[in-house]
Amino acid sequence: MDPIGNIIDLAFERRKRGPRFNGEMMQILEVSRDLICLCRGGAITAINGAGARMLGAKTTEQLIGRRLAEFLIPEYGQVLDLFLSGMASEDRGVPTRIVGLDQAVRDIELQVFRAREIATDATVVTGRDMSKEGKLAGSAHKTDTRFHLLVDNSMNLVCHVVGGSIRYVNKAGIALLGATEAEQVIGLRLEEILHPDYADLIGDIAKEGAAVPLRLLHRDGSAFDALVRLTELPAGGMGTELMVEARDITGHNRAVAALRRSSETLEMRVAARTRELAEQHARAEEMTLVAEAALRFSESLIDTIPSPVWFKDALGRVQTSNRAFRALFGDGEPKLLLPLEDTVTDAELMSGACDQASFEAPILPPSGGRLDTMVLKSAYLDDEGRPVGVIGVLTDISDRKAMERELRRLATTDSLTGAFNRRHFLAAAGTELERANRYGNPLTLLMLDVDYFKSINDAHGHGTGDDALRRLVEGLRHALRDIDVIGRLGGEEFAVLLPETGMAGALITAERLRAQVADLRLDLPDGGQLAFTVSIGIAAPRAEDGSVEAVLARADKALYRAKDEGRNRVCAEVVDPD
């Protein structure tokens, strides 16, 4: 018989109507490393060598006639009976556990095929040894268990955060957050364990990947200092995953503060000792050496402080400074760079009017740029309590000031056009109205409205409408003075305040604005261009006006008159003959 031809025939028959076997197939499958046996009524009638070894036999003869089910542990006996009776599918394996003749336990994936060509009760059983995979899985489980034990017994807080919620926290984290059990922490939002000042910085900290000092919250609401690292984990399908590590640095910060106080105290003692040495000539040389050594230690100590620190004597001369101070001011005289408040507060401290002073001021270092700073100063007193010098510390608050300026801009500006928003415009206009009434200066107010703005949105989309409003405000800025105020009152309605401008000048300005807007062209996505116009109403304050709203109301009436008369025109308020 030709084995190759037989295998090809078997493959063809398998594709046509399922697996088919005959007695000689066992000889071909003897080379397989998997268990392959032929059963009749559940009893083994033929088995290959690999199968004999899996079932713990030394020869195949030990297995002939034995039921395959007797090798399975009891839980799988009924399953195999169903397979052997042909009541199970032939195209999927079932994981089982067997006990061989050698009493060895093995995990085997069995698959049963009906061998109708041999006999109606004949089946062919194949099995693959899964013991190695099981051991690997067990080893992985042990490794995972050990990893969890290491994390759970870490000295620092470790949290697993999924989609912004805490899913796991170790023992150290429970204690650090002032909780008694994990359930008090699991489920909280990450923001709930952060001090509110830092809650908005989570995304930036995670991207940076470095450990940063933050303030965390105990469950009772009290805050503490911690060094925190947020590590973004690979996405697992449940949202953004973070690993949070934190270490309490409250004690460390206290130690640093104590060291700084110690440094300041040491410097004061050195200065006092230096004055004493000047009066004690007999021990001048010995005590000078001691003072120089102490001064070197003090200077090296305060040189580690990142903020500029200095000491001025009673004449205002800088006697001691740290590395940060020298790097900022170079060899120049600091009083030429610091504002007038520095000289004033020095005088107040030396006169005894106050013990401490502080102020915020921008400075322009010799290296270029600008720094927003906070200066903290205190009087240095001698042993008799008299001020003999000034100690100063400068802190860079540029980032905070930049954030404050941005917040002010966002609070007063329309985000779409860059014009002042309604609330800020009304406040600025109210201030200008009071000034005009007090000094009798002229003042006028323009109301502008884009003609047929709804048609622009309907025909070209709201994006094009937004572009038109932005171009309108850009055009107004180029055509107006720096002292003129532009505000967006709502939708396509704008207002312009013209200080020091009477009605005649306002008419000229309004007509110039109207013509300039009419000349604007907005490029469209389809290659075309869009032109649009505005109608403008003008009003000036009157003696009886108690608020800006009254002037706005008259300008609004003039605006609607301009629309009624055909749009793309300027109309001034109608003044009663009385």
CATH of the domain at 201: 3.30.450.20
Among 465, 470, 482, 495, CA closest to 559? 495
Give the per-residue pLDDT at 57: 92
Query: What b/e sequence results for 403-420 when a residue is b if at least 16 CB atoms lie within 10 Å of its CB, and e otherwise?
Result: eeeeeeeeeebbeebebb
* Spatial CB neighbours of 351, under 8 Å, sequence gap ≥ 6: 387
| pLDDT of 492 above 80 | yes
Distance separating alpha carbons of residues 333 and 273, to the nearest angstrom = 27
Give the per-residue pLDDT at 476: 92
Terminal CA-to-CA distance of the chain, rounded, Å?
Answer: 128
| pLDDT of 9 above 70 | no
| pLDDT of 262 above 70 | yes
Could you tell me if residue 146 is inside a domain?
no
Distance separating alpha carbons of residues 359 and 392, to the nearest angstrom = 11
Q: What is the mean pLDDT of residues 214-241?
A: 81
Q: Count up the domains in the chain and report the number.
A: 5
| pLDDT of 89 above 60 | no
pLDDT digits (tens, 9 = 90+) for 520-538: 999 998 888 999 999 999 9
Give the per-residue pLDDT at 7: 37
Could you tell me if residue 53 is inside a domain?
yes
pLDDT digits (tens, 9 = 90+) for 296-325: 666 677 778 888 888 888 888 888 888 888
Give the per-residue pLDDT at 8: 39
Least confident piece of the model among 177-186, 218-227, 295-304: 295-304
Could you tell me if residue 407 is inside a domain?
no
Residues 424 and 563 in one domain: yes
Determine what percent of the chain is predicted with pLDDT higher than 70. 83
pLDDT band at 257 (very low <50, low <70, confident <90, very high): confident
Give the per-residue pLDDT at 17: 46
Could you tell me if residue 144 is inside a domain?
no
Residues 459 and 552 in one domain: yes
Residues 451 and 479 in one domain: yes
Which of 228, 248, 268 is a domain's end point?
248
pLDDT digits (tens, 9 = 90+) for 477-487: 998 999 999 99
Give the per-residue pLDDT at 11: 40
Determine what percent of the chain is predicted with pLDDT higher than 90. 24
Residues 426 and 558 in one domain: yes
Residues 352 and 434 in one domain: no
Which of 376, 402, 428 is a domain's end point?
402
Identify the residue whose tokens are 């066992």: 26
Could you tell me if residue 297 is inside a domain?
yes
Least confident piece of the model among 25-39, 139-153, 197-211, 310-324: 139-153
Give the per-residue pLDDT at 78: 67
Residues 566 and 417 in one domain: yes
Distance separating alpha carbons of residues 16 and 5, to the nearest angstrom = 17
Residues 93 and 58 in one domain: yes
Residues 381 and 444 in one domain: no
Strand ranges, E, within 333-435: 356-363, 371-381, 387-396
Give the per-residue pLDDT at 299: 66
pLDDT band at 511 (very low <50, low <70, confident <90, very high): very high
Could you tell me if residue 140 is inside a domain?
no
Which of 351, 374, 402 is a domain's end point?
402
Active site residue 492: yes
Q: Which of 68-77, 367-376, 442-451 has the highest mean pLDDT?
A: 442-451
Distance separating alpha carbons of residues 108 and 104, to the nearest angstrom = 12
Residues 114 and 25 in one domain: yes
Could you tell me if residue 99 is inside a domain?
yes
**9 vs 185 pLDDT, higher one:** 185
Dump the DSSP string for 49-107: HHHHHHTT-SSGGGTTT-BGGGGB-GGGHHHHHHHHTT-S-SSS-EEEEEE-TT--EEE
Enter the pTM of the model.
0.40
Structural domain that includes position 33: 3-135
Q: What is the mean pLDDT of residues 89-118?
A: 82
Distance separating alpha carbons of residues 332 and 355, to the nearest angstrom = 27
Residues 122 and 241 in one domain: no
pLDDT band at 144 (very low <50, low <70, confident <90, very high): low
pLDDT digits (tens, 9 = 90+) for 93-103: 788 889 999 98
Residues 261 and 315 in one domain: no
Could you tell me if residue 173 is inside a domain?
yes
Residues 272 and 379 in one domain: no
**510 vs 337 pLDDT, higher one:** 510
Q: Specify the length of the chain in residues.
A: 578
Task: Point out the catalytic residue in the list 492, 493, 544, 565.
Answer: 492
